[in-house]
Chains A and B, each alone.
Chain A
Amino acid sequence: MSELKQELKEKIIEQLNLEDVSVDEIANDDPLFGEGLGLDSIDALELIVMLDKDYGIRLADPKEGRKIFESIDTMAAYIAANRTN
């Protein structure tokens, strides 16, 4: 699981162009939206695409993303339980 969390941090920084953020600066329980990393609605869509492209997970309802994308912890747990590739 810790490898997956590390992978997610690297993917998020690269795919969301978080230029001034390093992997070490993202705690596993940091909120990804709002006061945490400050991601926005377009970032949320990018994360949904990332789940599909990299882990074979298609969200039927984008609103599901709210809980899944709360933090690296919640993302990793959801991916580990639902990934198809």
Chain B
Amino acid sequence: MSSPEYYIKSYCLIRDGKVSKNGEILFSDDSEEFPAFIKSAYKHFETDYSKFFKMDNLSKLAFMGAEVLLCENEEQNTALVLSNRASSLDTDRKHQAAISKESGAFASPAVFVYTLPNICMGEISIRHKLYSENSFFIFAEFNPYLLSDYANDLLISGKANEVLCGWVDYDKGKYDAFLYVIAKKGMLPHNTGELTKLYRTK
């Protein structure tokens, strides 16, 4: 379903060592490892939020994407609708390894709290003081159909004034984020064709 009255207000891609917003590369880094890359991005954007370093990789990825899009966003009723393929598997494995040690199992509370993918939306909500609707979906691949339907429904029903949507996937060092804000005014029409085109942007 497409909805001509809603628009893509802005979008952000984080992949291949680059952070871009609305097609413009804002930051790039040669770091091969995600932790080094995302730390460099954090410093580049002069993000002052020490709790960032306590997050797992998935939350850092989602947080940075939201930071790029919501840093100047004054709309408090912004719903969050995110999705990915790997859920929180990267952190799940760390937790499993910690509790499986034969020499003594000690679960880390700081790791355990991230063994759900929707925790990343909690981090975004805390940072941007959002008390809005949120949902996290697991798909085999980016699914613009369900995301657009869901976002439109939130806007039509009045449950949100804007929606931060997208794909934020992290597993085994590989990362891919495509986040976008849907609003009543914007730069591009909100439809599955446009979303697919933007997602496939290199």
A: which residues have CB within 8 A of B? 16-20, 38, 42-43, 45-46, 49, 52-53
Q: In this complex, what residue of B is CB-closest to A21?
A: B50
- Inter-chain CA distance A19–B39, complex, in Å, is 10
| B109–A19 touching, CB < 8 Å | no
B: which residues have CB within 8 A of A? 50, 53-54, 104, 106-110, 113
- CB-CB < 8 A to A43: which residues of B? 110
7 nearest A-B pairs in the assembled complex, by CB-CB distance:
A45-B109, A19-B53, A17-B53, A53-B106, A17-B54, A46-B110, A42-B109
- Choose from B50, B107, B108 the contact partner of A19 (Cβ within 8 Å): B50
Q: How far is the CB of A22 from chain B (nearest CB, A)?
A: 13
- CB-CB < 8 A to A45: which residues of B? 109-110
Q: How far is the CB of A69 from chain B (nearest CB, A)?
A: 14
Q: What are 17 inter-chain pairs, A to B, with CB distance below 8 A?
A: A16-B54, A16-B110, A17-B54, A18-B50, A19-B50, A19-B53, A20-B50, A20-B53, A38-B50, A42-B109, A42-B113, A46-B110, A49-B106, A49-B107, A49-B108, A49-B109, A53-B104
- Inter-chain CA distance A16–B50, complex, in Å, is 11
Q: How far is the CB of B174 from chain A (nearest CB, A)?
A: 22
- Inter-chain CA distance A52–B107, complex, in Å, is 11
| A42–B110 touching, CB < 8 Å | yes
- Inter-chain CA distance A52–B106, complex, in Å, is 9
Known: A20-B53, A38-B50. 5 other contacts (CB 8 A): A16-B110, A17-B110, A19-B50, A42-B109, A42-B113
- Inter-chain CA distance A18–B51, complex, in Å, is 8
Q: In this complex, what residue of A is CB-closest to B54?
A: A17
- Inter-chain CA distance A20–B53, complex, in Å, is 9
- Inter-chain CA distance A46–B113, complex, in Å, is 11
- CB-CB < 8 A to B108: which residues of A? 46, 49
- CB-CB < 8 A to A20: which residues of B? 50, 53
Q: How far is the CB of A35 from chain B (nearest CB, A)?
A: 14
- CB-CB < 8 A to A52: which residues of B? 106
- Inter-chain CA distance A38–B54, complex, in Å, is 13
Q: In this complex, what residue of A is CB-closest to B106?
A: A53
- CB-CB < 8 A to B113: which residues of A? 42
| B109–A18 touching, CB < 8 Å | no
Q: In this complex, what residue of A is CB-closest to B51?
A: A40
Q: How far is the CB of A46 from chain B (nearest CB, A)?
A: 5
- Inter-chain CA distance A18–B54, complex, in Å, is 8
- CB-CB < 8 A to A42: which residues of B? 54, 109-110, 113
